[in-house]
Amino acid sequence: MAGEAQTASEYIKHHLQNLTYGKFPEGYDNAGSWGFAHTAQEAKDMGFMAVHVDTMLFSIMLGVVFLFFFHKAAKYATEGVPGGLQNFVEWVIEFIDSNVRDSFTGKNPLVAPMALTLFIWILLMNLMDLVPVDWLPQLAGIVGSGVFGVDPHHVYFKIVPTTDPNATFGMALAIFALTMFYSVKIKGIGGFMAELTMQPFEAKSLPVKIFLIPINFFLEFVGLISKPISLSLRLFGNLYAGEMIFILIALLYGSGLTLFVFAGVLQWAWAVFHVLIITLQAFIFMTLAVVYMEMAHHHH
């Protein structure tokens, strides 16, 4: 529940701030040294090179969980009656393989493993949104105050990596880099540049073709750049909105018995509905990544 020493606005801002580690800039007593930000302003002033420790921690941890269980299922796979884990892993792999075959017609052994990794990893990160918003942040506050002597209200801890645009943009830019690499590899520099400059407007006359090149390039370049931006913002926006609703529901718990009961029912209902959003967003991100790879492997 919301801390009694915090206003509703402070409570919301606290839950939306990442645990940030970076270099303190000029103007601070400890300028030039590295450390954790104790306020949102400090985190902002640390600039681009600051690291969101909580995002890194949970994304890496969930990636390790994914690798551990899938490796375990592969290691102990049997041709006889499979166990529950093997059944689940086989079902997931068949589901991903079917979707990749429907969306990708080229030949690239990287695409299916990429799709599997994206779907499971993003799904696990999204599932952290179902953990009650106060449990882990309060635990982090207790540890921070007990071990490091820090005011609990200055200990920030976001547990849903996909509510951090740094994580979603990082994944989207990785997909963008792959599509650029295979676009040039499959089509050559000339073929790739022709796709950017010879469409959507075409002409038979050479002077008109030359005139249309900058127009075509502008339109195609905008479409090209919009892919990673829309890919990342779609995932971030949906999960951020879902987390915000959970935070607003948590505020109701401290507003009397009637609202306490109402908040419990509302939280359960939103969690059930949010499971669909969580799964759908992971699937959409994976599918679009496969579609972009398909576009990179074929000429227009």
Structural Rg of the chain based on CA atoms: 24
Starting at the edge strand found earlier in the chain, the sheet holding 34-36 runs 34-36, 20-23, 51-52
The answer to whether 30 is a known catalytic residue is no
**Look-up: residue for tokens 């576009």?**
295
Q: How far apart are CA 224 and CA 210, in angstroms?
A: 21
Q: Which of 99, 145, 166, 234 is catalytic?
A: 234
- Which of these, 94, 95, 87, lies nearest to 69 by C-alpha position? 87
Catalytic residue chosen out of the listed positions 98, 230, 232, 255? 230
27 sits in the region (left: phi over 0; alpha: psi -120 to 50; else beta) called left
Please list the alpha-helical segments (H only) found in 104-164: 111-127, 135-147
- Burial string for 58-97 (b: 16+ CB within 10 Å, else e) reads bbeebbeebeeebeebeeeeeeeeeeeebeebeebeeebe
At 22, phi and psi to the nearest 5? -165, -170
Question: Does residue 238 carry a catalytic annotation?
Answer: yes
Which residue numbers are catalytic?
A: 230, 234, 238
